[in-house]
Amino acid sequence: MESESSTIQFEKLHNFRDIGGFLTEDGKLMKRGLYFRSDSLHSFSINDINKIQGFQIKSIIDLRTPNERAKKLCVELNAMAVQVINIPIYPLPNKRDPNLIERLFDLLKGEYKRLNFETFMFDNYRRMAIEHHQEINRILTFLSEKENLPAIIHCTAGKDRTGWISYLLQSIARVPIKDIYEDYLFTNLYMLDKEVIKRYQRMFAWLKLGNFDPNQFKPMQEARLEYLHSAEDAIFDKYETIEKYLTEFCMIPDKIIENIRNLLIECEP
């Protein structure tokens, strides 16, 4: 278990934290300061930018889709010569990426009323594990190169896609699974942030236009171990370990996995 909270307080970001600081299964320490996870990085205060500069970030991996990124880019970080790499992981089946007008049209047509969002989340996690193996290969290959670090990995809420990549990195470092789960669930505290609540209230105001029950959306607001287990089940049905899944299914060479582990692991704490 990590010795202290890895969460870092910002004014405009709400789910930013270091994924390191954990003791590994063999009693070593997963380094801090290499991989950070976050919600969307398109909005900063001056103080936030100064804090980011203090981490000497070299790269950002943006997991959002093209329409999610539209007009919500990290302009300030680009100005700081930070390398931004977009490797989208699509939440919707068939890598569908509706724009705002299409989403509103679906809402007004009542398309979302027919959708079970809990089932959607289970399926979404299985898709992340099985249908995005090429993207996972690209992400981990990029993160295995020391010159690209420190790096921030983020999506929109920093909850599911970012949570999945964090899970894989912590697994490579051989962090005990109970600590990986606890760190994954820590995102639920972010959902209690006042600014996040306001954001969802604004969204719910739009949902009411389609006579949509906001409670139906609740499964998508939470990090649940059941979702993570659905991705694990999809993997462990065919592969004994996460490492075999990464090397045999995602086609990531052993050397890449070993590079990440060597970067992450310190000597005896």
pLDDT tens-digit series, residues 102-136: 665 555 455 555 667 888 899 999 999 999 999 99
**How many C-beta neighbours within 10 Å does residue 179 have?**
18
Comparison of pLDDT for 5 and 137, the residue scoring more:
137
Q: Note the pTM of the prediction, 2 decimals.
A: 0.87
Per-residue model confidence as pLDDT tens digits over 235-255: 999 999 999 999 999 999 999
Q: Tokens 């959902």 sit at which residue?
A: 191
Domain assignment of residue 3, yes or no: no
**Torsion-angle region of 158 (φ positive above 0: left; ψ -120 to 50: alpha; else: beta):** left
Among the ranges 96-100, 215-219, 221-225, which has the highest mean pLDDT value? Answer: 221-225
182, pLDDT greater than 60: yes
pLDDT average, residue stretch 42-67: 87
Residue pair 131/242 in contact by the 8 Å Cβ criterion: no
Domain assignment of residue 4, yes or no: no
Domain assignment of residue 11, yes or no: no
pLDDT average, residue stretch 199-206: 54
Whole-number percent of the chain with pLDDT over 70 = 77
Q: How many domains does the chain have?
A: 1
Domain assignment of residue 38, yes or no: yes
Domain assignment of residue 67, yes or no: yes
Q: Which domain holds residue 90?
A: 17-266
Domain assignment of residue 9, yes or no: no
